Structure 1
Amino acid sequence: MENLTMDNMTMENDTLVHDNQTTLGVWTDYTNEYKVVSVFLVSLICGMGIVGNVMVIMVVLTTKHMRTPTNCYLVSLAAADLMVLTAAGLPNITDALHGQWVYGYAGCLGITYFQYLGINASSCSITAFTVERYIAICHPIKAQFLCTLSRAKKIIMVVWALTSVYCVMWLFLSDTEKLVYDNVVLLSCAYKVSRTYYLPIYFTDFTVFYVLPLMLATVLYGLIARILFLNPLPSDPKNSTKKWKKEANQGGRMVSTCSSSSTTAASRRQVGHCLFIISALSMIVFGAV
């Protein structure tokens, strides 16, 4: 009788627990075709992005003449893209294979933090690069004093320090959650509180790291395009250089004219290549996310 009573109490407790928990239905695992295709595509995109960004960083760090202010910003952008590709790629692969979060509580906090840090640092790096290019092209004289290697390194350090501190809040806003199905209980990395409380955070991120940089880049690149349209590059640099030297000698301004003209011309040629690199890296990041 005692055993029957204990069994009845256990069954009643299990029934109460089951009734108090809202299940999500019956969970079915992903098909093998889905696993193969998703793992292949994510590995391909993230692998190409990781290899490309590592090459950018290695080339700039190992080649002395490549250590320019512009390339410093590109290294910062490459490092941010590497962070996003790694933090976003690994969870996608393991989710396709296992169907749940496998990195635990610490992994949930760390990966969420690095995802947002990489995205925000990437946006700030592009903004700093845009301002640097604007100064170099539209104000070449000032660029000789403002767009220096040491200043670029300091700006990059400030960018990463501020974004690192800003993203600390995600360590307190993320948490693991158990998804209760009828046939299994799975672990998920999710929000710590209701998603309605995250609207101000998302709005702030969208404004600070997307809308404002986009508006600033639109204005600055519009001014750059105006300069390039009104002052096209000479067809024959040698003849133009001789002409500039002759005119500068007559006016007594040879050094300043030649240096500013050569700086402006080099900056105009360089901005096209840098914009292409930024576009490619951004496509890789958004494709991975």
Structure 2
Amino acid sequence: MKRVCVCVSVLGNVMVVIVVLKTKSMKTPTNCYLVSLSIADLMVLIAAVPNEIISYYVLGDQWIWGRYGCGLFIFLQYLGINVSSLSITSFTIERYIAICHPMKAQKMCTVHRAKRIIIGVWIFALIYCSPWLFLTKVEPIYYKGYDDIETCTFALSRKHYLGYFFADLVLFYVFPLILSCILYGLIARILFTNEISRSVGKSNSNNGNMSMDSKKSSSANDYARIQ
């Protein structure tokens, strides 16, 4: 079942990227962020799948990809997760501007600007996640009857990673969550207010038409009585 889910996820993300890149009409700011999100998700899957597949055929936590593979796979997983978070946040901000400030959106919400933001997101995430290339190591583990078995683990004591993990929590989870809640709340308020305004305007228009019809009917009755 896990393999099926992984295959469907990979296929879905690949199709999103291909469709947006191949279809000219699909090249919008929103879809630019979706492509970035799909690539980031693919990166997480690519980094996780080999180890999951190998786990069916090797012993326990055995690592077969070597020292460089250990750092690279961990780096790619964190990079994909963090870029996903930042891409969703950027998409949310773009939607907020488009809905709540439509006049500004004509200049701000462009494909060129979206591409620059996405490039900035990836550069920031690459720099931020790069320490993981050096914060992991492979070390031997001992199973009875087995020799030369290694596992991928932390290079330092776990307490030294607390600051890094806390920064991850704040930058890529807490802050995006709070910002998204605020922006979607503002979007909902604008949409709800506009809906009420349209309903009131429609009601006033109908009342005005009924008033005109009643005036015409009254005038016609008066004219008939005079005649």
- Give the TM-score normalised by the residue count of structure 2: 0.83
1:8-47 equivalence runs, <5 A: 41-47=1-7
1:153-164 equivalence runs, <5 A: 153-164=115-126
> Runs of 4+ in structure 1 displaced over 4 angstroms?
none
Is residue 2:68 matched to residue 1:122? no
Which residue pairs with 1:83 in the alignment? 43
User: 1:175 Cα shift?
Assistant: 0.8
Which residue pairs with 2:17 in the alignment? 57
Which residue pairs with 1:95 in the alignment? 55
- Structure 1 alignment gaps of length 5 or more: 1-40, 244-289
Tell me how far apart the structure 1 counterparts of residues 197 and 80 of structure 2 sit (CA, whole Å): 40
Equivalent of 1:227 in 190, 197, 215 = 190
The alignment partner of 2:5 has SS state of helix
Which residue pairs with 2:26 in the alignment? 66
Cα deviation, 1:154-186, whole Å, max 9, x if unaligned, reads: 000000011001111001101112111232242
User: 1:72 Cα shift?
Assistant: 0.1
Asked if the contact 1:46/1:86 (under 8 Å) is kept, the reply is no
Aligned length: 197
Tell me how far apart the structure 2 counterparts of residues 212 and 68 of structure 1 sit (CA, whole Å): 26
Which amino acid is 1:149 matched to? V
The alignment partner of 2:9 has SS state of helix
- Structure 2 alignment gaps of length 5 or more: 206-227
Is residue 2:159 matched to residue 1:199? no
Cα RMSD of the aligned pairs, angstroms, is 1.7
Cα deviation, 1:245-284, whole Å, max 9, x if unaligned, reads: xxxxxxxxxxxxxxxxxxxxxxxxxxxxxxxxxxxxxxxx
Cα deviation, 1:45-78, whole Å, max 9, x if unaligned, reads: 2111110000000000000000000000000000
Which amino acid is 1:133 matched to? R
1:220-259 equivalence runs, <5 A: 220-232=183-195
Tell me how far apart the structure 2 counterparts of residues 71 and 155 of structure 1 sit (CA, whole Å): 13
Once the two structures are aligned, what percentage of the paired residues are identical?
51
User: 1:96 Cα shift?
Assistant: 2.3
Which residue pairs with 2:142 in the alignment? 180
Tell me how far apart the structure 2 counterparts of residues 150 and 234 of structure 1 sit (CA, whole Å): 34
* Structure with larger Rg: 2
Tell me how far apart the structure 2 counterparts of residues 131 and 207 of structure 1 sit (CA, whole Å): 18
Tell me how far apart the structure 2 counterparts of residues 197 and 95 of structure 1 sit (CA, whole Å): 28
The alignment partner of 2:137 has SS state of strand
User: 1:234 Cα shift?
Assistant: 10
Which amino acid is 1:50 matched to? V
